[in-house]
Structure 1
Amino acid sequence: MKKFIDEVIAEMKKVSWSTKKELATYTGVVGIAVAVVCALIWICDTFFARLFHIILR
């Protein structure tokens, strides 16, 4: 178990961590992408709901 922990610590020292600025930028990009995808889904859902309402009326 000690060998495993030592190897984990050694690997974690090799990790390249993001800076706070990079993290904030990436978080913003993800937030915008989620908003765009949500808007597209909402538009498609509204379109098909109205289409089916017209067809089934």
Structure 2
Amino acid sequence: MRTLDVWLYGRRAGRLEQADGALRFAYADDYLAGGGPPLSRSLPLTGERAGWLERELG
């Protein structure tokens, strides 16, 4: 598995993961608790891991 921490305005917003050819993003718990803005409309602020990249890139 490969991972990439995603930062927005100096705060770690979450982590992008690539495993078995799939890309997934999950917001960091402290980012969700701190009320930061979503990264995009396709990534609403939730505590669930999003597999949105498969839809966007597929």
* TM-score computed with the length of structure 1 as normaliser: 0.17
Structure exhibiting the larger radius of gyration computed from Cα positions? 1
* TM-score computed with the length of structure 2 as normaliser: 0.17
Which one has the bigger strand percentage? 2
Q: Which has the higher contact order (CA 8 A, sep 6+)?
A: 2
Which one has the bigger helix percentage? 1
